[in-house]
Amino acid sequence: METVLERHSQSAWRHLELRVASERPIQFIDLTERLDGLVAAAAIRTGLLTVQTRHTTTAIIVNEPEPLLMIDFAQLLEEIAPASLPYRHDSSARVVNLTPHERTNGHAHCRALLLPTTACLTIADGRMQLGRWQRILFVELDGPQERSVSTVLVGDSR
């Protein structure tokens, strides 16, 4: 879903929602190519792209998606907040923010506490200014699920 919020001469503000489907309880999903496409389609030369997850058990990070590093990240998250521990959030005594058939996901909320929910990226010369190994990763902490990511692109197309 895309919304053009405003356009003044060479400046543009755009909002786009991306759908992300995870397949595993912890998963790192590379959004970089999709975001590159968004920047290219908007023809923004200089500006900012903000990427925000809309869920409390997910995160947005900028890092290197090397497969063994992703295993290390997942292992670190499991060591910090093991899924096997009891969490008050999962207790039957909880009465706030309950939904029918809610997952037991206290561990995922604790893991999310340690990670950012947004990334703000610089656009120059029509491209996101990422380092050699940097990629924008959506981090699923309570999968598999269908998720959404909100993006706002602001810039100048001159």
- The pLDDT, as a whole number, for residue 33 is 98
Buried b (16+ CB within 10 A) or exposed e, 21-43: ebeebbbbbebbebbbebbeebe
Q: 50 lies in a domain? A: yes
Is 96 within the bounds of a domain? no
Q: What is the CATH number of the domain that holds 126?
A: 2.60.120.460
**What pLDDT is stored for residue 102 in this prediction?**
82
Question: Which domain does 34 fall in, by range?
Answer: 20-83+106-146
* Domain count for the chain: 1
- As averages over each run of 10 residues, the pLDDT of the chain (158 residues) reads 51 91 98 97 95 98 98 98 94 78 92 98 97 98 98 90
Evaluate whether residue 11 is within a structural domain: no
The per-residue pLDDT for 1 is: 54
The answer to whether position 27 is within a domain reads yes
Average pLDDT, the chain: 92
**Is residue 1 included in any domain, yes or no?**
no
Residue 31's φ and ψ, nearest 5 degrees, are -100, 0
- Please tell me the pTM assigned to this model: 0.90
Partners of 148 in the β-ladder: 19
pLDDT at position 82 is 98
User: Is 42 domain-assigned?
Assistant: yes
Domain membership flag for residue 54: yes
pLDDT attached to residue 4: 47
pLDDT attached to residue 9: 52
156 in any annotated domain: no
